[in-house]
Structure 1
Amino acid sequence: MTTAARRPTLDEIAEARGRIAPYVARTPLVRLDLGFPDRQIFLKLETLSPIGAFKLRPALNAVLSRDPAALRQGVAVASSGNMAYGMAWAARLMGVPMVAYMYRGAPQTKVDGVRELGGEVRFVSQEIWWDYIIGAARPEAPELLINPVTDQAVLAGNGSIGMEIIEDLSDVDAVLTPYGGGSLTAGVASAVKTGSRPVSVFAVEDDSAAPVCAALAAGRIVTVKTRPSFIKSIGAPSLVPQLWPVVRELIDGAIAVSPADVTEAMRLLFRKAKIVAEGAGAASLAAAIARPDLKGNIVCVISGGNIDAAAYSVVLAGGIPSA
């Protein structure tokens, strides 16, 4: 069973940042002028990572912080795509084998990215994939299985994003992050909530599967009904129980946005800034636009841009890709 996670300390986040710095350049924080009189929108562009997504940070920190002896038989991760992509990049750096447990229907661009970096993709059902995430089951294989949500090195690696945000925008008022398993939100919030200035952090979900909103309303983890969606990296039938107590204490709320809201944000990013974002990557901007009650300096973490070309062409043409 996966052990309970804890909030990473600022020292752990700083150590992670230093560890991955030779391989991951600082990503820019840029202002997106939407003409709002009472709020400024800033974009944290994790799309400019070497793999096109923030997941290289946690994957690298998880691998580089391990004893090399633990990596001899390789590393493995359960992922819908970007964490697998990041882990394959990190494993190639270390010269060890890598296995990704993915479910069929994951974006082909992410599957291809793993394979091009030398990783092996093993497809499993979504039920087994989720069991691997929450620690209810483990693959019978020799590789070191790194949990993409609860691993402490993963959380600290994600915290490096929050540290950069605070350094670049000391008067930030709110940070919006897409919420999949929750490690991005937990890591970023752990960093931005360490100073004297109050900063609100919101988890952003696809309303096709919004377990954070449901858990906050119910006061406990619940299972929600889900609908098929083209947005693959966020949304689940429930929450990872080992991480939820940490997240619950860190976030100030959750915002659910529709696929229509997200595709409009994707088009806006392309039209205004020539930024290509996948669905999950644009969800934070969609949420910021949908919540005019959020005032001041708002940072949207644009978490990734790995989307299949066919799906992106549908978005640019004004549509919503099929699930």
Structure 2
Amino acid sequence: MIPLQRVRAAAARAAPHVLRTPMVPVEGALLKLECLQPTGSFKVRGFFAAALALPPESLRRGLLTVSAGNAAQACAYAAKKLGVSCRVVMFDTAPETKVAGVKRWGATPIPMPRDQLFGWIADEGWHNEPESFIHPFADEEVMAGHGGIGLELLDDVPDLRRVVIPVGGGGLVTGIASAIQGMRPEVEIIGVQSDGYPLRAAAQSGRPSARLRGEGGRRGCRGPGLCRFGAADAGADDGGDHQRRQHRPGASGESPQLALGRVIAHGPRLIAAISIQTNNATLGIQKINPTT
């Protein structure tokens, strides 16, 4: 877990550059619309927090990260706004939309074949690069920056009882849980993820796992790699089978869309909302109706 003081400091660094996103009431739950951030995801919070924590000479060298999607765009956006260069290591099979999203903010994609990329990660190849590397989810300043969401939740929802958080590598849930449990330890934290992602299986087995199971993996929802194993397991409540739900494609093969509160989201942004919709009885809330 991240110390509360560190979360507050990281959130304060990021605050001038990110949105304080609204809460939208939807049929018994509240949705925090991080999809309204400048790059469409919460990840800008962590990258601004981490970049601004660097010594000035390290920041001037530019930023480097590894990602095929939201983290790539968040790093590129932060670098552009801070006036430094950015490169992003990506799969050479990354969709053109993802590559274009990185280029849009002036960053340079570094395409690598799958095996080479995972070898680069395993060997910590960023130590041989000139830029300052920011890990997309295992960097503690990134996690602390994401914790700003938790601080906002506590401010905006005085009677907060439960938070349902999507879990990929574990950085988001660790940051939010650190903030909330540091101030209100009685608030329940539930982590949810695609059935194809290994973190819950790793928590159950007591060791890291890269195994992908079932049909739950969709673009942005799966992929072998390093997880914030211990921290995520400590922060999120293991509430039983209601946390294990599959995220399946629609009949057309596209990711499902969910229309809630006049906001349409898709793909991995749906994981928490779908979990609420499919587990409303267990969670003690009304049903959310998805639109595909």
Matching residue's letter, 2:229: W
Aligned partner of 1:194 among 182, 192, 206: 182
- 1:111 maps to 99
Deviations 1:34-55 (A, max 9, x none): xxxxxx2111100111111111
Matching residue's letter, 1:170: P
- 2:219 maps to 232
- How far apart are residue 75 of structure 1 and its match? 0.9
Q: Does 1:76 align with 2:70?
A: no
The separation in 2 between residues aligned to 1:200 and 1:32, in whole angstroms, is 19
Q: Does 1:138 align with 2:125?
A: yes
Q: Does 1:295 align with 2:280?
A: no
Q: Percent identity?
A: 30
Deviates further, 136-145 or 17-26: 136-145
Superposed, which structure 2 residues align to 1:68-217 within 5 Å? 68-131=56-119, 136-139=123-126, 140-196=128-184, 198-207=186-195, 209-217=196-204
Matching residue's letter, 1:212: L
Aligned partner of 1:25 among 19, 26, 37: 19
Q: Is the 8 A contact 2:21 2:36 kept in 1?
A: yes
DSSP 3-state at the match of 2:54? coil
Sort the Cα spacing of 1:108 and 1:168 in 2 relative to 1 into closer, same or farther, 3 A: farther
Structure 2 unpaired stretches of 5+: none
Matching residue's letter, 2:237: D
Task: Give the structure, 1 or 2, with the largest relative contact order (CA under 8 Å, sep 6 or more).
Answer: 1
The separation in 1 between residues aligned to 2:189 and 2:250, in whole angstroms, is 19
- How far apart are residue 173 of structure 1 and its match? 2.1
- How far apart are residue 144 of structure 1 and its match? 1.3
Sort the Cα spacing of 1:217 and 1:197 in 2 relative to 1 into closer, same or farther, 3 A: closer
Over the aligned positions, Cα root-mean-square deviation in angstroms equals 2.9
DSSP 3-state at the match of 1:293? helix
The separation in 2 between residues aligned to 1:233 and 1:66, in whole angstroms, is 28
- 2:231 maps to 246
Q: Is the 8 A contact 1:155 1:183 kept in 2?
A: yes
The separation in 1 between residues aligned to 2:9 and 2:271, in whole angstroms, is 29
Sort the Cα spacing of 1:223 and 1:150 in 2 relative to 1 into closer, same or farther, 3 A: closer
- How far apart are residue 274 of structure 1 and its match? 2.8
- How far apart are residue 262 of structure 1 and its match? 8.7
- 1:222 maps to 209
In the superposition, the TM-score normalised over structure 2's length comes to: 0.86
Q: Is the 8 A contact 1:265 1:282 kept in 2?
A: no
Aligned pair count reads 284
Q: Is the 8 A contact 2:162 2:189 kept in 1?
A: yes
The separation in 1 between residues aligned to 2:155 and 2:278, in whole angstroms, is 27
